[in-house]
């Protein structure tokens, strides 16, 4: 091969080595519509990338009845700093087939425990511009019902008021 061909071949090999990296980019960070990413305000997004689970226990902790838990990621794009995200920012809603609605508060202790186990920041850590906060949200629920769940996301700074509110359907296995 001549020098030009060798150089072109080397450049192509180098360019191809970067292509797999693009597949690992989190959808919440890419400017495309994704079915798992929801915009609550121009500065606050949430992604619920997988399915939720209902279990009698989580790790070595037993639920009073059941835990319903799932992963979520909050993307914060505001210029200012938030002093953490308030636990009231997450509410679980269950709607029965008859239309009856019940809401469940976040189990803050179990959510914080899951963040610490995963070596993730907790909800009490400050949010800065461009911060992507991973969370395993945990709720106490009274029954092992798999249909009719949704997450109400109404982000608020700790001790503050919600800046927006959206409802996100949750798939439970």
Question: In this predicted model, what pLDDT tens digit does every residue of 34-87 receive, in sequence order?
Answer: 778 899 998 999 999 889 999 999 988 999 999 999 999 999 999 999 999 999
Query: Residue 9 above 60 pLDDT?
Result: no
| Higher per-residue confidence, 127 vs 14 | 127
User: What's the confidence (pLDDT) of residue 19?
Assistant: 39
Say how many Å lie between the first and final Cα of the chain, rounded: 57
User: What's the confidence (pLDDT) of residue 102?
Assistant: 97
Considering the entire predicted model, what is its pTM?
0.81
CB within 8 Å of 164: residues ≥ 6 apart: 40, 41, 44, 154, 155
Mean pLDDT value of segment 120-149: 94
Q: pLDDT band for position 15 (50/70/90)?
A: very low
Question: In this predicted model, what pLDDT tens digit does every residue of 79-116 receive, in sequence order?
Answer: 999 999 999 999 999 999 999 999 999 999 999 999 99
Tokens linked to 79:
């210029």
User: What's the confidence (pLDDT) of residue 36?
Assistant: 82
- Distance from C-alpha of 10 to C-alpha of 157, rounded to nearest angstrom: 50
User: What's the confidence (pLDDT) of residue 5?
Assistant: 55
Average pLDDT, the chain: 86
Q: pLDDT band for position 134 (50/70/90)?
A: very high
CB within 8 Å of 127: residues ≥ 6 apart: 74, 76, 78, 81, 82, 84, 85, 133
User: Does residue 72 contact residue 47 with C-beta atoms inside 8 Å?
Assistant: yes
- Distance from C-alpha of 78 to C-alpha of 157, rounded to nearest angstrom: 12
């Amino acid at each position: 091969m001549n020098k030009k061909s060798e150089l072109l071949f080397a450049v192509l090999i180098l360019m191809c080595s970067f292509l797999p990296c693009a597949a690992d980019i989190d959808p919440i960070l890419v400017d495309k519509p994704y079915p798992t990413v929801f915009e609550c305000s121009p500065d606050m997004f949430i992604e619920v990338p997988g399915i939720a689970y209902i279990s009698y226990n989580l790790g070595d902790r037993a639920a009073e009845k059941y835990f319903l838990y799932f992963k979520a990621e909050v993307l914060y794009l505001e210029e200012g700093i938030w002093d953490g995200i308030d636990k009231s920012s997450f509410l679980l809603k269950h709607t029965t087939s008859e239309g009856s609605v019940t809401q469940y508060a976040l189990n803050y202790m179990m959510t914080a425990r899951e963040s610490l186990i995963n070596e993730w920041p907790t909800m009490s850590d400050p949010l800065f511009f461009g911060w992507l906060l991973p969370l395993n949200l945990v709720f106490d629920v009274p029954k092992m019902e798999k249909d009719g769940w949704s997450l109400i996301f109404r982000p608020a700074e700790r001790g503050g008021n919600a800046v927006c509110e959206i409802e996100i359907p949750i798939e439970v296995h």
